[in-house]
Amino acid sequence: MSRIGKKPIAIPKGVKIHKDGALLQIEGPKGKLVHTIPVCITVETGTDEMIVSRSSDERQQRSLHGLTRTLVANMVEGVTQGFKRELEIVGVGYKAEKAGKLLKLSVGLSHIINFDEPEGIQINVEKQIIRVEGIDKCLVGQTASKIRMFKKPDVYKGKGIRYVGEVVRKKVGKAGAK
């Protein structure tokens, strides 16, 4: 039995769960998320908790069991608390600014990068910190990753866009000709 899959998911107050066949809809104070449950996985809802189970011990079903439980738990957490990822900009002259739903990045390239804010995501900029917030954990992580890809941290000086708390290992530069 999956250690993660067999754990019950607590349902906080104010969260409504609607199951229609394979479609699971979770609605909370922050919004609404929908997920399609695989055929071999069943989700039973009680008054204060949900239990995810599988019909057999086949390899495919075992792998989907823990994954489905984690996705559903993330949906419940997203509609109640939400998720956020923070990125920091390191480098002289590197900056970010918000113009409506557009994030403008100036990160040492010959042009300014314009990034459109995806639906369901809020991007806030404070000095050198870019905060990506939303209710869908996957979309928040994917958006933060796309922003980071515009200018990954340099291995020699550490300049670029990185996650807050990320440790960038720096290489030693050339020693120079003698």
pLDDT bucket at 46, cuts 50 / 70 / 90: confident
9-13, 81-85, 173-177: range with lowest mean pLDDT:
173-177
Give residue-wise pLDDT tens across range 17-43: 999 989 999 999 999 999 999 999 999
Which residues are bridge partners to 166 per DSSP? none
pLDDT bucket at 3, cuts 50 / 70 / 90: confident
Give residue-wise pLDDT tens across range 66-122: 999 999 999 999 999 999 999 999 999 999 999 999 999 999 999 999 999 999 999
Domains 9-80 and 83-163 share a fold: yes
What SS3 state is found at 170? coil
What's 120-155 look like in SS3? Answer: CEEEEEECCEEEEEECCHHHHHHHHHHHHHCCCCCC
d(CA 84, CA 2) in angstroms, rounded, equals 28
- What string of DSSP letters covers 73-121? HHHHHHHHT-EEEEEEEESTT-EEEEETTEEEEESSSSS-EEEEPPTTE
Q: Enter the pTM of the model.
A: 0.87
> Could you tell me whether strands 32-36 and 102-106 are parallel, antiparallel, or unpaired per DSSP bridges?
unpaired
Q: What is the DSSP letter of 167?
A: P
Report domain extents, the chain.
9-80, 83-163
Minimal CA–CA distance to 28: which of 78, 73, 62?
Answer: 78
CATH of domain 9-80: 3.90.930.12
What mean pLDDT, rounded, does the chain reach?
92
User: What is the architecture of the domain spanning 83-163?
Assistant: Alpha-Beta Complex (3.90)
